[in-house]
Structure 1
Amino acid sequence: MSALSLCLVIAAAVCHASWNFCIKRINGGPELIWLFSALSVLIYGPVAVWVLLDTHTALTLLAWAFVIGSAALHLAYLVLLQTGYRKGDLSLVYPVARATGPILSSAFAVLLLGEHITPQMGGGAAIIIFGVFMLTGGIKAGATRTGTSLGFGLGSGLLIGSYTAWDAYTVAALAVPPVLLEITSNIGRTALLAPIANQRKDLVRQHWQTHKLAVITIAVLNPLAYILVLYAMRIAPVTYVAPIRELSVLLTVLAGSLILGEGHLRWRLTWAAVIFGGITLLASA
């Protein structure tokens, strides 16, 4: 894996962990997602237009179809994950989704994009995925609604794998600018959540008045994190990028222990070391 692509993925992980930390501090709901998504459209919309004009990019009908398809996949993931959080157990839905996502991303990349996996790559990816699964809680014996939770977790992981491979083809093979691909998803998310935001307009106003700086931070870093990943997938195989991207989960969980006082620091540091070992093995392949 090249140093540039590795740096892009690490920078994306830092951005991802940072905006997730801000969301935890605000503790909002769908109305918060609408607020920062709408703000992201205002911030990155002109950038997307400038990129299209500056690069003289003329997208084909097929490219636009893939852009719209990407937005649909991301929206489906958001809806399914939020439904899973309501009807299942967060402690099961989240780790299963984060563990199966990179597995399926890599599988789709091999089957559909013609990428190859060496034993060292497979070993490094497996260590990262298992470490993330354990770091986020794994399957707990006392959990309720296990079947429902596993179903939503696997479904969410399937969508993660699908949109990762889909987006990799879109930006690499069809030459769609990553910023355009990401802003389209934000537009779709804003439209989908608009009715909820309208019902909760008082909460939207409260989030903005009380946490303005944090909301702006999320609006900037949320798209930037994925834009950096998309640029990385332009120059590196998905089989490298997808597992190493899970570094963001590690940083988010550690921030919860160190800054938000969520506890379990020793457990989390142990699995953090395992994940770093997997990243080192994969990056050196």
Structure 2
Amino acid sequence: MSLFALVLVLSSAVAHASWNLLSKQAARADGVVFIWLVAAASTVLWSPAALGYLALTGTRLSWTGIGVIAGSTALHLGYFMLLQRGYRHGDLSVVYPIARGTGPLLASLVAILFFDEHPGPAGIAGILLVGAGVFLLGTARRPSREDLTGIGFGLATGLFIAAYTIWDKQVVSTFAVAPILLNYGGELGRALALAPAALTARRRNLIRPTWQEHRTRVLGAAVLVPLSYLLVLIAFTFSPVSTVAPVREIGVLVAVVLGGRLLAEGDLTRRLLAAAVIVGGVVTIALS
């Protein structure tokens, strides 16, 4: 992995952990309403960048491009809904590591088996270290019933992470869709897909109070969600999935610290010790 790719992915990891903190803080809000507000706000905030890109480059999306963006949107929608449900039941420093560990390991395995990517022995060792560290973090204490429910949603979220990681890699490489258009199309698609559910009679009355209580979190996530993934998509254009996906897991360290310090989730020392395994894995992958 090049130094530029490493910087992109590590920056993405910090942004990703930060917006997950915001989502966890809003976990008691209605999940559909909160995710819809984030997607709608993100669509508005990122419109100038997407439209500017189209105007400057003269890019025109084909029907095939629109189709693969729609597929990505569906996978990301499942991911966001499951993740928000997981945060309703479990700690940030439990759900996040489980989800982030399951996804990249599966993505790397699929990339190696089906996309002819061949990391060397050091790369494979790094992937295994990252996975081991992530799962140690997720099980650093004896889980409660609520934790087990959160872990279940975290595992399901990880399946969607693996699916959209592999899918989106093909979208930006094989189908040559610009990362910013894939990202923006996903936000717009999520806002449109959730609008019927968010605007039902029952949920419509929740929009104003959710916005008033979580305005800062909505706007913060609206900026950080696309930014964190845009950096990864750019890295995907010239780096293999089997190295990009695991290195993103440095965000787990950030999430554990945020959960321990800002959310008082406890068990910080043991979870940080387990997270040190991830650092070793990241360094191994970066040097492979």
The answer to whether residue 255 in structure 2 is matched with residue 252 in structure 1 is: yes
Q: 1:254 to 1:115 in 2, by over 3 A?
A: same
Q: Which residue of structure 2 lines up, in the alignment, with residue 235 of structure 1? A: 238
Which of 98, 122, 126 matches 1:124? 126
1:29-178 to 2 correspondences below 5 Å? 29-30=30-31, 31-81=33-83, 90=90, 95-137=97-139, 140=142, 143=145, 154-178=155-179
2:281 is aligned with 1:282: no
Moved over 6 A (4+): 83-86, 148-151
- Greater CA deviation, 156-165 or 18-27? 18-27
Q: Percent identity?
A: 43
Q: 1:10 to 1:106 in 2, by over 3 A?
A: same
Q: 1:214 to 1:250 in 2, by over 3 A?
A: same
Measure, in 2, the Cα distance between the counterparts of 1:263 and 1:35: 30
5+ residue gaps in structure 2? none
**CA-to-partner distance for each residue in 1:243-266, whole Å, 9 max, x for gaps?**
111222221121111222221111
Partner SS for 2:107: helix
Larger CA deviation: 102-111 vs 153-162: 153-162
User: TM-score scaled to structure 2, two decimals?
Assistant: 0.86
CA contact (8 A) 2:13 2:250 kept: yes
Q: CA RMSD in A?
A: 2.7
Residues matched between the structures, number: 282
Change in Cα spacing, 1:63 to 1:236, as seen in structure 2 (3 Å) is same
> Alpha carbons of 1:60 and 1:116: their partners in 2 closer, same or farther (altered >3 Å)?
farther
Partner of 1:214 in structure 2? 217
What is the identity, as a one-letter code, of the residue corresponding to 1:33?
I
| Structure 2 residue identity aligned to 1:6 | L
Contact 2:98 2:134 in 1 (8 A): no
Equivalent AA in structure 1 for residue 272 of structure 2: L
Task: List gaps (5 residues or longer) in structure 1.
Answer: none
- Closer, same or farther: CA 65–138 of 1 in aligned 2, 3 Å: farther
TM-score, normalised via structure 1 length: 0.87
